[in-house]
Amino acid sequence: MPASHPSILYLHGLNSSPASHKASQLQRAMQHMGLAEQLAIPALHHHPRVAIAQIETLIETLGRPVLVGSSLGGYYATHLAERHGLKALLINPAVSPHLRFDGYLGPQTNFYSNETWDLTADHVSALAELDVPPPTDGSRYQVWLQTADETLDYRDAGVFYRQCALRIQAGGDHGFQGFAERLPMLFAFAGIAPQYWRDTDFCALDVQ
């Protein structure tokens, strides 16, 4: 990959995929800027240990990518940003997800691939292994939260990431409404030169 451009590694959430809306928006934007090769969006395995191994391999391949993590992907991104000293932009990130699966063990279905799998106690234990203290180097993080997230309480992330740059927006949902119009902020944080994105209406690229 060209050394002059930073790479971005997007990590989707539980039962999501590279076909998710935000991932697709980001992919179209990077293609429009001619930077498609600087983006990786892996299809993460449902087991945390396998998923982390996938991501570690990509980090080694990409060099020092900027991590963009949504929901459970935000939890993974935090663990890996702390381990490797990477920058991370987190979108409605899960906080201590291993504490939130009471009553949810059992069959699961991926929203996009229709793959079925069983959420087990071993999945939960593997998630607990990834827990880290609240980040203290706020310059390496941006955390985007929407208050009407129907899956996670945004206040948990607000407390956990209190030393980071928090962007809290009223309303929205867990999928994060208005992601496309905020892509310039993501690209600026990632270190992509303004001439690639400043004159683009990324909402116009958003094909439902």
CA 179 to chain centre: 12
Classify 71 in phi/psi space as left (phi over 0), alpha (psi -120 to 50) or beta. Answer: left
pLDDT for residue 4: 65
pLDDT band, very low/low/confident/very high, at 2 (cuts 50, 70, 90): very low
pLDDT at 165 over 50: yes
Distance separating alpha carbons of residues 71 and 16, to the nearest angstrom: 10
Predicted TM-score (pTM) of this structure? 0.95
Mean pLDDT, residues 51-62 taken together:
97
pLDDT for residue 109: 95
pLDDT for residue 204: 86
DSSP string of 31-50?
HHTT-GGGEE-----SSHHH
pLDDT for residue 205: 79
CA atoms within 13 A on the CB side of 29: 28
Distance separating alpha carbons of residues 30 and 68, to the nearest angstrom: 14
CATH (residue range 8-205): 3.40.50.1820
Cα→Cα distances 2→37, 63, 75, 130, 189, Å? 9, 11, 29, 32, 18
| DSSP H or E run through 24 | helix 21-32
Query: Mean pLDDT across the chain, nearest whole number?
Result: 94
With a CB cutoff of 8 Å and minimum separation 6, the contacts of 126 are: 47, 48, 49
What digits encode the pLDDT tens for the residues 64-93?
999 999 999 999 999 999 999 999 999 999
User: Of the candidates 26, 43, 4, 172, which has an alpha carbon nearest to the alpha carbon of residue 89?
Assistant: 26
